[in-house]
Amino acid sequence: MTTHLGTEELAAPKSLPIDYDKRMMLAAGRASGELGTRIAERLGVELTDAGLKTFPDGEVYCRYGESIRGADIFIVQSISTNEREGITANDALMELLVMVDAAVGASAHRVIAVTPWYGYSRQDKKSAPREPITARLVAKMLETAGVDRVVTMDLHAGQVQGFFSKPVDHMTALPILTQYVDDQLAGSVEDLVIIAPDAGRVKLTRKFAQKIGAPYALLEKERPAQSVAEIGYVIGDVQGKVAVVVDDMIDTGGTLAAAAQTLVDEGASEVHAVATHGIFSGSAFESLGASPLSSIVVTDTVPLRDGAPNLIRQLTCADILTDSVRRIFTDDSVSEIFAGENQLF
């Protein structure tokens, strides 16, 4: 006896009848505890305890305090130093890897590393023979640990995004910094000029200047050695104007201090600086405090260490990161946050 099945019976079901509740969880490493707390408050969730500690021999340990099985877990950790927690950049990287591996082993549905400051991003190419491309190595380590996605801010170089085979969501602090300059410094746009610290930042500076509605100029510089910069001359008019130097990061501060002095020597009435990442390593506070700079504004992608001079102000990037986390969790468009203008400059 032959049974003939109808077309409707042969058709495969369009979806499985499973009632599945997505869960979001948020954890933070010790390099970004304060930023993680700000994001959690805005999301209306509690930070998941990652049980982080360092053994006497320096090894890092992690054990999540509750079940994360089936959850999308977002791990907030910049690869940076946090002196208050006794964490170096290398400690932060190892801690992030351990947290990702623990989440994968605990059967998380997706593991997303929220790494606002991508440490080692300046080592993105071989500038001399026998050098490593460490930014690529970090990407390989994160993917080997099991990360499903990476969220970062204002990468130092665009090719870092290409070191990953997993999705990378690139955020930018441009809206925060342009809003600050517009509110606090742009009393008269005719008196304002946006400064690119080198040729590599001209595209970013042009975009920044367009947002403000001000002209821009370029500093020509030479770098005789790593972390040493010599400012040559200014290309553009800064005479009698308020100059705002725009960069992605401030590290030792030597380049910025020299740039400020050059701009003052060229006739600028005031010099301010804005950047996404305020690393301020070594004697940066002393160098910048003694410079002609009137103010420096950075975001909290990197925790600000104690002893900062009064001219340094820190804005939070938690709102942008919160929106990004929410959109990733709900599978919405992340680029809509910036109207498609979060591309690498």
Angle at 209 between CA 208 and CA 214, to 5 degrees: 155
Is 161 in contact with 181 (CB distance < 8 Å)? no
- Choose, from 140, 203, 221, 241, the residue flagged as catalytic: 221
CB 279 within 8 A of CB 298: no
Is 96 in contact with 75 (CB distance < 8 Å)?
yes
Interatomic CA distance for residues 109 and 21, integer angstroms = 12
Question: d(Cα 190, Cα 23) in Å, to the nearest integer?
Answer: 51
Separation between Cα atoms, residue 10 and residue 16, nearest integer Å: 16
How many Å apart are CA 331 and CA 339, to the nearest integer? 17
The DSSP letter of residue 157 is: S
Q: Which of 311, 224, 231 is nearest to 266 (CA)?
A: 231
Strand 228-235 relative to strand 216-225: parallel, antiparallel, unpaired? antiparallel
Whether 221 is catalytic: yes
C-alpha–C-alpha distance, residues 299 and 259, integer Å: 21
Q: What is the Cα 76 distance to its own chain's centre?
A: 11
Of 147, 149, 148, whose CA–CA distance to 168 is shortest? 149
Q: How many angstroms separate the Cα of 203 from the Cα of each of 14, 66, 271, 345? A: 47, 46, 20, 6
Active site residues: 221
